[in-house]
A and B are shown apart, each in its own frame.
Chain A
Amino acid sequence: MLEIKNLHAELEEEGKKILKGVNLKVGAGEVHAIMGPNGSGKSTTSYVLSGRDGYEVTEGEALLEGENILDMEPEERAAAGVFLAFQYPVEIPGVGNMTFLRTAVNAQRKARGEDELSAGDFLKEVRAKAKSLQIDADMLKRPVNVGFSGGEKKRNEILQMAMLEPKLCILDETDSGLDVDAMKLVSEGVNALRDENRSFVVITHYQRLLDHIKPDFVHIMYNGQIVKSGGPELALEVENNGYSDLIAEVEAG
């Protein structure tokens, strides 16, 4: 599904190198967790994959089903199947959540050469999906993320994901700012979307999210590279011992 090869990226303005050769292979239907201390390049990886301005890729590529996505505009990547669940979803006053969702769904359908969803069909689908995420009619009507609690914002991200049905979902610290109940709800939303044709990259600091969204693989990122990969047990090791042992091990070579 996704293959990141020797990806190097730096901050455009400062020329500061953040990613220093990331390699990662994510198969169809797999869930990969990326963990690592602050500043290791986890979020940058998600931004570079989704096409945010301000980063320059200096080397390497990222292939989605064999196609390099790094030269595409963000909207083209979305149409190709990339979805980033934001750590801090953006508030957009004056634009109804429903209008936003419908614009997004239809824009992607159009880009893929599919017919736009009729108002009725769209409504039916959004209501069903919103219900399972406990998003009520009021939240759908309100402006995008305006006045939403932390939990509501994250549920809204998952609703967008459910509506857009991407191939590759990148979750950037989706657990931040969530209480236990909200985390459970969000995780259930994510788990409901797990599918043999859909892959997930879950970026997180903590093991606790991975109790709910069980990963197939866990990677440790440090200083712009993936320095260790393993199964779910690696996340437990981090939870028990922190990153320092791992880092010391890496630095010792």
Chain B
Amino acid sequence: MSRAVLKQRKLEATSERLAGNDIPKGAAWANDIRQDALQRLLSMGLPQGRDEYWRWTSPSDLTAAQPKSCEPFVDDEEAVFASIDAINITFVDGVFDQAQSDDRGATGLEIGRLQDALSADIHWVKENFSVLEKRAQDAVERPLGVYNTAFATDGLVIKVVDKVEKPVNITYIHNDATSDVVLRHIIKIEEGASFTLLETGASGARSNLAIEVDIAEGAAFNHIRTQGRDHERTALSHIFASIAKESTFKSFTLTANGQLTRNESFLDVNGDDAVAHIAGACLGDGDFHHDDTVFITHDAVNCESRQVYKKVLRNGAKGIFQGKILVKDGAQKTDGYQISQGLLLDDDSQFLAKPELEIYADDVACSHGSTVGAIDEQALFYLRSRGVSKEDATDLLTLSFLAEAIEEIEDEQISNCILERLEMWLSKRKGA
């Protein structure tokens, strides 16, 4: 079958699939942006398994008309970030829940709801909504990000004008076995300001979450996310970031469990002396499928980017990493680092990695490494010879393996929350 025919079929399928989907109502300008997204999606087509970046992760559960039913997971655990003094916001099955949220008023920070912003005739979000999502499409098509622009029904719009110490801590609760969630957060961090976003949980039976974050000159964005034990969920997330001169972007995700999780990140480093770090640690068991797809564009001088991804897999779990660094012509003195590693605890598990470098500047330092291996027998023996059981020794070496990713979290208190949670999850799966 020729490419043209395949593409034609893809577009027909997309058009059929989207026929019943209505764009949420809003102000005229918002409607224009949504319509534009819908048209882009119709000419792009929803992803299929033969698309280059979907070869290892089947998109069918993400694109199907109905989500796979997923019984809510009864979580007996304390919230991961409970000990952090934060502005707490809760979404239940993709809908903002006032009763379980703190007062949104805070100094240096303006927090609103997406649908309120998109219904207002005049709003700062008008200048931001879909801008970074669209920019990301230049590199590789991200149709489900476009889908999010067209159909997102709720989310936060956050404007940060100062250095804000208190993080915003979003908890997503999943109660409905068939909830199909499309959430969009739009964040604008103004010059010299700084902001930390914490996220916990699975937002629904199926979720499509996108974050657009615009980081202005000298500003900083910190993001720490945990995706917990709601195993049957189908989850997709996108981060679209613009990283300006002397600004900093840092993101870390801890994932445990999940039949299908795909986290995509598109970091556009476009101002000199900027820093972009993104990291992930995951713990996969059984019918676990976890995909990190990262694309970093360097289009400025003397910038640094780091990607650190570590996946521990067992009982047939599957981990995917697709990471690309694109250094544009003129982006001299770029320092790009990428590492992706899989630790396979048995012969049934699988780690697939595709590191890519595309470099057009001639004075850069870019390194990448990808490894996959088993537990170091020598280290295991060392621990066991000190009386530590094989199981506990394996857990210690698992923590050791994940450490490089966790060390990417700067805030010690938050890093401890992550470590404690990881240890808890490890001890819970003992003997399983």
Contact between chains at A89 and B388 (CB < 8 Å): no
Known: A90-B379, A94-B403, A94-B404. A78 touches B384 (CB 8 A): yes
Judged by a CB distance under 8 angstroms, whether A104 is at the interface is yes
Instruction: From B377, B382, B388, B393, give the contact of A86 (CB < 8 A).
Output: B382
Q: Mark B201-233, 1 if CB is under 8 A from A, else 0.
A: 000000000000000000000000000000000
B385 touches A84 (CB 8 A): yes
**Which of A1-9, A29-37, A45-53, A218-226 forms part of the interface with chain B?**
A45-53
Q: B387 near A108 (CB under 8 angstroms)?
A: yes
From B389, B397, B402, B406, residue with most partner A Cβ within 10 Å: B389
Q: How far is A105 from B388 in the complex, measured between Cα atoms in Å?
A: 9
Residues of the A chain whose Cβ atoms lie less than 8 Å from the Cβ of B399: 94-95
Q: In angstroms, how far is the closest chain B Cβ from the Cβ of A90?
A: 4
B386 in contact with A53 (CB, 8 Å):
no
Q: Which of A75, A90, A143 contacts B378 (CB 8 A)?
A: A90
Task: State the interface size on chain B (CB cutoff 8 A).
Answer: 26
Most buried by B among A83, A86, A107: A107
Cα A84 to Cα B404 in complex, Å, equals 29
Instruction: Answer whether residue A204 sits at the interface, using C-beta atoms and an 8 A cutoff.
Output: no
Inter-chain CA distance A164–B386, complex, in Å, is 8
**What's the least CB distance linking A20 to chain B, in Å?**
24
B384 and A74 form a contact (CB under 8 A): yes
Contact with A along B401-423 (1 / 0, CB 8 A): 11110110000000000000000
Q: Which residues of A contact B402 (CB under 8 A)?
A: 94
Q: How long is the Cα–Cα vector from A143 to B403 in the complex, in angstroms?
A: 10
Is A180 close to B, CB under 8 A? no
B29 contacts the other chain (Cβ, under 8 Å)?
A: no
Contact string, A98-110, partner B, CB cutoff 8 A, digits 1/0?
0010011101100
Q: Using a CB-CB cutoff of 8 Å, which residues 59-102 of chain A contact chain B? A: 73-75, 77-79, 83-84, 86, 89-90, 92-95, 100
Docked-complex contact B377 and A53, CB < 8 angstroms? yes
Q: Which of B390, B396, B397, B404 contacts A75 (CB 8 A)?
A: B390
A53 to B380, CA, bound (A): 10
Taking the closest CB of chain B, its distance from the CB of A236, in whole angstroms, is 32
- Write the chain B residue with the least CB distance to A86: B382
Query: Is A111's CB within 8 Å of the partner chain B?
Result: yes
A160 at the interface (CB under 8 A from B): yes
Q: Which positions 356-395 of chain B face chain A at CB distance < 8 Å?
A: 376-379, 381-390, 392-393
Q: How large is the interface on A (under 10, 10 to 19, 20 to 34, 35 or more residues)?
A: 20 to 34
A112 CB to nearest chain B CB (Å)? 9
- Find the A residue at minimum CB distance from B377: A53
Instruction: Tell me the smallest distance from the CB of B371 to a CB of chain A, in Å.
Output: 14
> How far apart are A82's CB and chain B's nearest CB, in angstroms?
8
Contact B400 A107, beta carbon cutoff 8 Å: no
A53-B377, A53-B381 known; A92 vs B396 contact (CB < 8 Å): yes
User: Given A95-B400, A103-B396, A79 and B381 touching (CB < 8 A)?
Assistant: no
Please report which residues of chain A, range 128-161, place their CB below 8 angstroms from some CB of chain B when the two chains form the complex. 143, 160
Residue numbers in B under 8 Å from A92 (CB-CB): 379, 382-383, 396-397, 400
Q: How far is the CA of A74 from the CA of B404 in the complex (A)?
A: 28
Nearest Cβ in chain B — how far from A151, in angstroms? 19
- CA–CA, A47 to B327, complex, Å? 51
Distance in Å: Cβ of B93 to nearest Cβ of chain A: 37
From known contacts A92-B396, A93-B400, infer whether A75 and B381 are also in contact, taking CB-CB under 8 Å: no
Instruction: Give 4 A-B pairs besides A52-B385, A78-B385, A93-B404 with Cβ atoms closer than 8 angstroms.
Output: A50-B385, A51-B384, A92-B396, A103-B396
Residues of B within 8 A of A (CB): 376-379, 381-390, 392-393, 396-397, 399-404, 406-407
3 closest A-B pairs by beta carbon, nearest first, are A94-B403, A78-B387, A108-B387
Jot down 18 A-B pairs with beta carbons below 8 A, ordered by A. A51-B384, A78-B386, A84-B385, A86-B385, A89-B382, A90-B379, A90-B382, A94-B403, A94-B406, A94-B407, A95-B396, A95-B399, A104-B387, A107-B386, A107-B392, A143-B400, A143-B403, A160-B386
Interface residues of A (CB under 8 A from B): 50-53, 73-75, 77-79, 83-84, 86, 89-90, 92-95, 100, 103-105, 107-108, 111, 143, 160, 164
